[in-house]
C-alpha cells in the first residue's frame, strides 16, 4: 500500500467514509455510488525485513517510520481492521492445523450477518458496517465496563470521533460472531487492538 502515492491513497478517503464519489466541476456536482471493501497489505519497511529477527533491516527503526509515514493518519482512521502479520518460521509450519477451518468460519460469518439483518429490520442498513447515529448506539448495547474502556481510549487520544464509531461497529460485529447479546469489555478490547491507534493496544491489554 505504501508504494502508492499519498494523493492516490487519500483520494479513497471520501468513498471509504460515505460510499460515494463526488466529481465537482464549475457548473455541477455529480455523485456516483462507490461502496467497496478495501483490502490492502504492506511490508513493515521498504526493504521488507522490519526491525526484528534474522535479516532485520539495518536502518530500523528509521526505515520503518519513514516508510509507514507515507500512509496518512486520516486515511488509516478509515480502515477498521489492521492486523500485523509476523514472518512465518519453520516452527510455525510444523504446528497442527487450526481447530476452526474455513467452512466453520464461513458458517459463523453467515450466522452473524443473518442476525444483523434481523436486528436491523426494514428501517436501517442490514449490516453493522453501515450503522450510524442513534441506531448504532442502540444496537451496540455496551456493558458498563466495555463503555468505560472505550471512553478511556478516547480520552487518552487513542480514538478520534470517527474511530469511536468504527470501534463500536467492530465491537458489535465481534460480539455477533461469538453469538453474544451485549457487547462486553473483551469485545471492545479486541476492536481497539485492530484500530491501530497509538495507545489502544495498551488499554485493550490492561
Range of the domain at 109: 102-205
> Following DSSP, what letter does each residue of 120-164 receive, concatenated?
HTTSS-SSGGG--HHHHHHHH-B-HHHHHHHHHHHHTTS--HHHH
The pLDDT assigned to 112 comes to: 94
Same domain, 18 and 68: yes
The pLDDT assigned to 26 comes to: 83
Does residue 91 lie in a domain region? no
Measured distance CA(49)–CA(51) in Å, rounded:
7
Measured distance CA(160)–CA(54) in Å, rounded:
37
Mean pLDDT in each 10-residue stretch from start to end of the chain (206 residues)? 92 91 88 92 81 66 83 90 84 87 93 91 81 89 93 86 92 94 94 69 40
The pLDDT assigned to 55 comes to: 60
Same domain, 22 and 75: yes
Same domain, 179 and 115: yes
The pLDDT assigned to 104 comes to: 93
Same domain, 172 and 108: yes
Does residue 90 lie in a domain region? no
Domain count, the chain: 2
Bond prior to 61 in cis (omega within 30° of 0): yes
Amino acid at each position: 500500500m505504501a508504494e502508492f502515492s499519498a494523493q492516490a491513497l487519500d483520494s479513497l478517503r471520501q468513498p471509504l467514509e460515505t460510499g460515494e464519489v463526488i466529481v465537482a466541476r464549475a457548473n455541477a456536482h455529480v455523485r456516483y455510488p462507490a461502496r467497496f471493501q478495501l483490502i490492502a497489505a504492506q511490508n513493515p519497511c521498504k526493504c521488507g525485513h522490519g526491525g526484528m529477527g534474522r535479516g532485520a533491516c539495518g536502518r530500523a527503526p528509521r526505515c520503518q517510520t519513514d516508510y509507514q509515514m507515507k500512509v496518512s493518519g486520516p486515511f488509516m482512521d478509515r480502515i477498521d481492521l489492521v492486523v500485523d502479520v509476523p514472518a512465518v518460521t519453520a516452527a510455525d509450519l510444523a504446528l497442527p492445523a487450526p481447530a476452526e477451518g474455513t467452512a466453520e468460519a464461513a458458517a459463523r460469518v453467515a450466522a452473524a450477518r443473518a442476525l444483523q439483518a434481523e436486528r436491523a429490520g426494514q428501517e436501517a442498513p442490514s449490516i453493522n458496517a453501515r450503522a450510524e447515529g442513534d441506531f448504532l448506539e442502540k444496537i451496540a448495547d455496551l456493558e458498563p465496563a466495555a463503555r468505560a474502556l472505550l471512553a478511556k481510549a478516547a480520552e487518552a487520544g487513542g480514538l478520534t470521533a470517527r474511530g469511536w464509531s468504527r470501534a463500536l461497529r467492530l465491537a458489535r460485529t465481534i460480539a455477533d460472531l461469538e453469538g453474544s447479546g451485549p457487547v462486553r469489555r473483551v469485545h471492545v478490547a479486541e476492536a481497539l487492538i485492530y484500530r491501530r491507534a497509538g495507545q489502544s493496544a495498551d488499554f485493550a491489554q490492561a
